[in-house]
Amino acid sequence: MRKLLTLISLLVLLGGCEKAPPQVAETTLWYPTAKPLAAFTLTDQFQQPVTNQQLYGHWNWLFVGYTSCPDICPMTLAKLAAVRQQLDSQDIKIWFISVDPKRDNADKLKAYSAYFGSDIIAATAPHSALFPFVRDLGLIYAISESESEAYSVDHSAAVALIDPQGKLVALFKPEFKLGEVPLIDSKTLRQDFLTIRSQY
């Protein structure tokens, strides 16, 4: 009986010595267990297929939007490019996923993405493939029904973090301030990304 109590006490003691996970900002949703992504196929700005294979071996920051977006998209992509430059990291890929395949053809995606970096992956797909992929990332989008070519697209302003095994590990959510465009905070993104990466 004493041996059993001693063993239980030891297990409790060892359990109490476990380190608590590092803290991240309230705007960062860090999944305790990384989520595998379902198989997907998109088409990039060079009209080449893009699949889960392109996620492996490096970290990935994925952002959904469209090239006609007036504010959130260009400002977020500029922030991502700037933070990656600050980190001077070769193991981070930035993805721009267009959820407006009707207007965002390969030429448009190529010109738009090049403004933020020569190695940005800009890709899209028909909605039948695009919607489940975006939903799998924990993001959403919706297109206003309109006959006009000037329609707008509602979409998430968060950035999905995919680990080198191709799994969803976190979402960097924007800050919402009255009267301001909802954007991710560059400092928070940098700090929390380094925190998460340090656990791998």
pLDDT one-digit tens code per residue, 93-112:
999 999 999 999 999 999 99
Do 137 and 167 touch, CB atoms closer than 8 A?
Answer: no
Q: What proportion of the chain, given as a percentage, has pLDDT over 70?
A: 88
pLDDT at position 147: 65
Domain-located, residue 9: no
Q: Is the pLDDT of residue 175 over 90?
A: no
Domain-located, residue 100: yes
Domain-located, residue 83: yes
Domain-located, residue 178: yes
How far, in Å, CA of 43 to CA of 49, rounded?
A: 5
- Please report, for the domain that includes residue 55, its CATH number: 3.40.30.10
Instruction: Give the 3-state secondary structure of residue 183.
Output: strand
pLDDT at position 60: 98
Q: What angle do CA 28, 121, 192 make, to 5 degrees?
A: 20
pLDDT at position 144: 78
Q: Is the pLDDT of residue 200 over 70?
A: yes
* Start-end of H helices in the chain: 2-16, 72-87, 106-114, 127-136, 186-197
| Total domains in the fold of the chain | 1
Q: Structure pTM?
A: 0.88
Residue ranges making up the domain that contains 119: 23-197
